[in-house]
Amino acid sequence: MLPRTPLLFLVILACIVSVSVLDSPARAQPSVAAQQITAPYTISSPGTYELSSDCRGSGTGDCSITITAPDVTLDGKDHTLFGNGIIVEKNGTGVLSGITIKNLWIEGGAYGIQLSDINGARISNVTIVETVFDGLNIMDSKDVRVENSTFLKNVDLILDPMYQNLYHGGILLTGTENIVITGCTFEDHFNAIVLLDSTGTTISSNYFHNLHDIMYHSAEGTKIYNNYLSVVDVASDTTTNALNTTLQNGPNIIGGNKLGGNYWYKDDGTGYSQTCVDDNHSGICDNPYEISSPSALNKTLRTDNFPLSGPVVSGKPAHPVITPQQVHTTPTGSVYHQMSPTTASLPFSLVILAIMIGALVACLRR
């Protein structure tokens, strides 16, 4: 009996430990209620804020919201600011980080959203319409993602024709780094996106219908691919900027199964992607597309090596066929399959429990 006692004790102890692991509920994290706000408002403390109503301002700044604190989430709850929009800027030294702005409509006023000295932000499901100046102005910031948003007729051509001639429009990037613009719509701008002294910008999976879709000047490491676009204007260029990514399988913006370059269209159906030869029906034009900058002072040629090929279309596709998550696939490999300690420990505990129960039953039968 002496040999059985230590074994039985160990078996029971192991069972208790395994059952405790299996039955212990995860500690619930305390939820913090979002603070309800109305415009105009200044957010000076971290936290989650929700717009509780529309704002119809009669003056220039009556509907503005200013964010001066890090780690702020502003959820517009699909409300509208009829007037000036949102300014995100530091209050003192350093930079702001952890900023999220989502689910909001901004119409009219001098500006839509302005970000300055930001290190990490996300703008999602925002519509900015008919602002006097740029719809979204990002300055001296990095790691900002703009997704699933709409920009319509920003920079009023009648109220401020001189500003319009400075090549501004839907989104202006100045001195930025690692900006991602994806899943967005740009319509009726002189220039939809302008890059000035910006590095590492990715523009993918967007719909463009403007006089000029993209203008870049002194840009490095720009990637422009899988967009539905017509005109890219280049004030100055380097070999680090590209109009395509590597050719790969994946859903593209016109419903095909290849990712590579862009879909180049014209409203009358004579765009390169609408008329190019695709003898092997791969969804990629047989020949690259060399575009010439429409700028009178610069005739730089840029090449899209894998322009998308498809049927002749006029205007915008009937409905979106991709999402940003589908475009940017996650690499496979062991590093991407690591399990959290809690998830990994449960199956192991079950195995140990089964072995222990078997040993206990065997001991009791002796």
User: Domain extents for the chain?
Assistant: 35-330
Say how far apart CA 225 and CA 232 lie, in whole Å.
12
Say how far apart CA 107 and CA 274 lie, in whole Å.
34
Tell me: pLDDT of 306 over 80: yes
Report the alpha-carbon angle 260-264-143, nearest 5: 55
Instruction: Count other Cβ atoms within 10 Å, centred on residue 28.
Output: 6
Tell me: pLDDT of 344 over 70: no
What's residue 61's pLDDT?
Answer: 58
Q: Which of 146, 141, 122, 136 is nearest to 87 (CA)?
A: 136
What's residue 135's pLDDT?
Answer: 95
What's residue 311's pLDDT?
Answer: 72
Tell me: pLDDT of 120 over 90: yes
Question: Please, which pLDDT band fits residue 295 given cuts at 50, 70 and 90?
Answer: low
Tell me: pLDDT of 346 over 50: no
Q: Which residue has the higher pLDDT, 151 or 168?
A: 151
Across 6-10, 165-169, 274-278, least confident range: 6-10
High-pLDDT (> 90) share of the chain, % = 53
Tell me: pLDDT of 257 over 60: yes
Residues 68-86 have a mean pLDDT of: 95
What's residue 27's pLDDT?
Answer: 56
Burial class (CB in 10 A: 0-12, 13-18, 19+), 308: buried
Say how far apart CA 211 and CA 301 lie, in whole Å.
19
Question: Please, which pLDDT band fits residue 199 given cuts at 50, 70 and 90?
Answer: very high
| Matching residue, tokens 């305390």 | 30
Question: Please, which pLDDT band fits residue 88 given cuts at 50, 70 and 90?
Answer: very high
Tell me: pLDDT of 187 over 60: yes
The average confidence (pLDDT) of the chain is 78
